[in-house]
Copies of this chain bind each other. A is one copy, B any other.
Amino acid sequence: MPVRRERADAARNRLRVLAAAEALFAEQGVADTTMDEVAARAGVGKGTVYRRFGDQAGLAAELLSERGRELQERIMSGPPPLGPGAEPQERLAAFAAAYLEFQATHLDLVLLSESGSAGSRLRKGSYAFWRQHCAWLLSQAGAVDPALRAEALLASLSAEQVQDWVGRDGADVSALAAGLARLAATLATA
């Protein structure tokens, strides 16, 4: 299949839209920013935004995967226990804590990226990476049903769940992280 290059104007507009969205989200919050505003700020028609990103969730996912790249780096080639070198069980616990922090930090963006009726929402973008990583660690640790448990763990760290937890338990995120790390370890050993 011929890998058709992205046209110059399309590339320019893509960057403009991403920059505009990032700026508006920072200035006035994710919830108060409309797609029209993003398009206007980017100096671009609304149709262009939708052609490129599909919908709001797609735009959010794009922004998010940029930010997730850094965490992916730390996992693949950073120091243990998050990176390679530690026991699978420890790595999984470290991942749970780190991923919780990531989700909590970008909560509204993640929430947006998961919303909408676009088939299997979050199941696009970087989600595959997280799932793969967890499933791999679980199977290394000799757990049963590694694929299923990977998804179970990630489901416990979904935006809805995290929102609920931080909203209810307030600032006690570190206790939560500890509990989730214990949970991850349990999943890996049994």
Contacts and interface: CB of A to CB of B under 8 A. Distances in A.
A144 to B, nearest CB: 6
A183 B152 contact: yes
B148 A155 contact: no
A156 B183 CA distance: 13
B160 A114 contact: yes
A128 B155 CA distance: 18
A120 interface: yes
Interface residues of A, number: 34
A180 B160 CA distance: 20
Contact of A151 (B114, B119, B121, B161): B161
A171 interface: no
A127 to B, nearest CB: 10
Given A121-B160, A152-B155, 6 more contacts: A114-B160, A120-B167, A148-B183, A152-B183, A155-B158, A186-B190
5 contacts: A123-B164, A152-B156, A155-B160, A158-B158, A183-B187
